[in-house]
Amino acid sequence: MRDKIHLLIDSEALSAKTTRELQGAKLTIDAALNNMSQGLVMFDSSARLIVCNQQYLELYRLSSETVRPGCTFREILNQRVGAGSLLISDLDQHIAEILAGVARGADFTKIVTLRDGRIICAVNHPMTAGGWVATLEDITEEKRAEDRIVHAAHHDALTGLPNRILFAEQLEQALKRVRRGERLSVLYIDLDHLKRINDTLGHPIGDKLLKGVARRLLSCVRDIDTVARLSGDEFAVVQSSIDQPSQAAALALRIREAIRAPFDLDGHQVVVDISIGISIAPDDGTELEELIKAADIALYEAKNTGRGIYCFFEADMNERMQARGKLEHDLRSALANGEFELFYQPIFNLPNNKISAFEALLRWRHPERGLILPAEFISVAEDMGLIIPLGEWVLSTACAEAATWPSEINVSVNVSPLQLTNNNLINVVARAISSAGISASRLEIEITESVFFEKTFANISTMKKLHEFGVRLVIDDFGTGYSSPGYLLSFPFSKIKIDRRFITGLSDNKESRAIVRALANLARDLGMIVTAEGVETSQQLEQIRILGCTQMQGYLFSRPLPATEIHRLFLSKIKNIGRAA
């Protein structure tokens, strides 16, 4: 060890006092120098070198030929600049800083990165007699390990993008610039159908997709912007220094174009779509929380209201979100509290004007708000999963009600697509029918057309089973979705209901007339009943008769009414209905 130590003492160059002190301390220093792994250097009160060890010279790539006792601190620093072990441009300032630190009398640490990437930590100890000792250590490995930990804590392991924590930090930094007059946008991006891709193609493909999405997102932004992955299928972008919100819209469109191009993942062509919510600072707020919440609300709006690919935050969205939150909260207890009711609307056979069925239509008697229509809560109940128990309640209540009617009158029940994908629907229907004690053929199940767009094997097989069970299947709102006569051929439907839109258009829209006529003809040829929905005027009634519809339902004859009302109005005098109509 001793031969490694390069002790540089030139007693002539030192004052007598310092030499005396040194001689006293020499033995101790020798022992210390011999046994230390760090570099050590000592300067006297006039910043001249007293001593340094070999490790010191090696750390800074200095030569023992030129670094001699008595050299000034400045000379050594100049040599370090020459050797590439000091990157400081302003030497005077550096010297002033160190000397000021020494003058303060307390230990202080300096960490420097050398040109070759090594990181050196120098701890400076001022000495009572003036001057200072510095111990130096190469902390490159430690620092790298620490950096790796810090990096892992701030980045998403899969894509390498900043995670939620770093995203928040970077947004916070960018917001400082907003307070000085800049403008920025926050884009929340939600990838559609990731779960489905994971489920059908496997997680490794899902992971590759996410990496691909990350790469494409990065390709859409500038260096000064941040792209982060916030959670499974949620990404975010901070777009810094923009002049106009339209730049955020342009970025949203660019991102969408980039993401929608097909991904080739191990031979699978995968196409994904996204929704984007945008908030702008300072317009929508200057605080982190505000902006994140605003972007999130706008994303929700873009995703759930079909308002398009991207949506800017608007103040009233917040109120709508709160209203929705309250609705969800209230819905959660509504079923248990018995707040739901079924209204019934008659469906008439046109040839003889007799009631063929009543359609059960759900109503929510809210304790504060009164009667609420399904348009306001069905989709919320679907999102919450509540539609499954609620739909079960509707089926059993409607069947039990039908048991009190004449047996030639059917009951028609709307079933959500989610109930159809739930394996249990057959059992639920069977239970409702058997506990009401009605025949299966009296139950008509109305399924909206959108179901066929999502025609999964599960949906088709459930519909076939329902048909085999004896239940009648009805396509509701025909013409609003992805109408294709193909559906009519491939499923065992007994009825189609033509959407109200076409009936309303009958008087002044040639196309509506043509559609209704064509559907009526097609249905007749396939042996199906055609019901016109939403008939409000006697003129419309006349027209649907002429065009070939076989049933009608609408305000012209009756609005949906509570069960007790339909008993009073129709069922007690059912025989007179035909004449009255």
Nearest 5°: phi and psi at 6?
A: -115, 95
212 or 554: whose CB is closer to ligand C2E? 554
CA dist 15 and 72 (Å) reads 15
Specify the residue, 283 or 536, whose C-beta has the smaller distance to ligand C2E.
536
Shortest Cβ 557–ligand C2E spacing (Å): 9
Summary count for the chain: helices (H), strands (E): 23, 22
Taking the alpha carbons of 301, 306, 310, 316 in that order, is the dihedral positive or negative? Answer: negative
* Minimal distance, residue 404 CB to ligand C2E, in Å: 19
Pick 126 or 554: Cβ nearer ligand C2E: 554
| DSSP H stretches of helix in 221-264 | 245-260
For the bound state, the minimum distance from the C-beta of residue 298 to Mg ion, rounded and expressed in Å, comes to 31
Please identify which residue in 102, 445, 476, 535 interacts with Mg ion, judged by CB under 5 A.
Answer: 476
Write down how long the chain is: 581
Provide the mask over 261-290, with x wherever binding to ligand C2E is found by CB under 6 A and - wherever it is not: ------------------------------
401 contributes a contact to ligand C2E by CB under 6 A: no
The answer to whether residue 371 forms part of the interface with ligand C2E (CB under 6 A) is no
Both tokens assigned to 275: 């929704």
Residue 16 phi/psi, 5° resolution?
-60, -40
Which runs of consecutive H residues, i.e. helices, occur in 155-280? Answer: 164-179, 194-201, 203-220, 245-260
Q: Are 326 and 306 in contact (CB under 8 A)?
A: no
Give the nearer residue to ligand C2E in terms of CB position, either 27 or 580.
Answer: 580
> Does the footprint of Mg ion cover residue 401 (CB under 5 A)?
no
210 vs 566, which CB is nearer to Mg ion? 566
Say if residues 411 and 444 touch (Cβ distance below 8 Å).
Answer: yes
Other CB atoms within 10 Å distance of the CB of residue 169: 14
422 Cα distance to chain centroid: 25
Which is nearest to 279 in space by CA: 269, 271, 287, 270? 287
CA distance 68 to 52: 9
Report the first-to-last Cα separation within the chain, whole angstroms. Answer: 114
505 binds ligand C2E (CB under 6 A): no
* Position 362 contacts ligand C2E (CB under 6 A): yes
Residue of 31, 152, 373, 569 interacting with ligand C2E (CB under 6 A):
373
Identity at 95, one-letter amino acid code = I
The verdict on 38 binding ligand C2E (CB under 6 A) reads no
CB of 228 to Mg ion, least distance (A): 44
> In the numeric block, which tokens belong to residue 215?
């790469």
In three-state secondary structure terms, 280 is strand
Long-range Cβ pairs for the range 10-19 (8 Å, 24+): 10/68, 10/69, 10/70, 13/48, 13/69, 13/70, 14/44, 14/50, 14/69, 14/70, 18/44, 18/50, 18/129
**Which entry of ligand C2E, Mg ion, none binds 336, CB below 5 to 8 A by partner kind?**
none
- The answer to whether residue 361 forms part of the interface with ligand C2E (CB under 6 A) is yes
Diameter over CA atoms, the chain = 133
Of residues 396 and 553, the one with the C-beta less far from ligand C2E: 553
Binding region for Mg ion (CB under 5 A) out of 13-21, 52-60, 132-140, 525-533: 525-533
In the complex with ligand C2E, the residue whose CB is nearer, 74 or 431, is 431
Q: Per-residue contact track with ligand C2E, 414 to 443, x per CB under 6 A? A: xxx---------------------------
Quick one: what does residue 536 bind among Mg ion, ligand C2E, none, with the CB cut-off 5 to 8 Å set by partner type? ligand C2E
Comparing CB distances to ligand C2E, the nearer of 43 and 358 is 358
Cβ count near 240 (within 10 Å): 21
Q: Answer yes or no whether residue 479 interacts with ligand C2E by CB under 6 A.
A: no
Of residues 445 through 474, those in contact with ligand C2E by CB under 6 A are 446
What is d(CA 237, CA 228) in angstroms, rounded to the nearest whole number?
Answer: 6
Task: CB nearer to ligand C2E: give 265 or 561.
Answer: 561
Using rule CB under 6 A, residue 190 touches ligand C2E: no
**Which one among 185, 226, 410, 414 touches Mg ion, defined by CB under 5 A?**
414
For ligand C2E, the closer CB: 55 or 412: 412
Q: What is the nearest approach in angstroms of ligand C2E to the Cβ of residue 558?
A: 9
Report if residue 446 touches Mg ion, rule: CB under 5 A.
yes
Query: Which residues of the shown chain bind Mg ion in the complex (CB under 5 A)?
Result: 414, 446, 476-477, 533
User: Which parts of this chain interact with ligand C2E (CB under 6 A)?
Assistant: 345, 361-362, 373-375, 378, 391, 394, 414-416, 446, 476-477, 500, 533-536, 553-555, 560
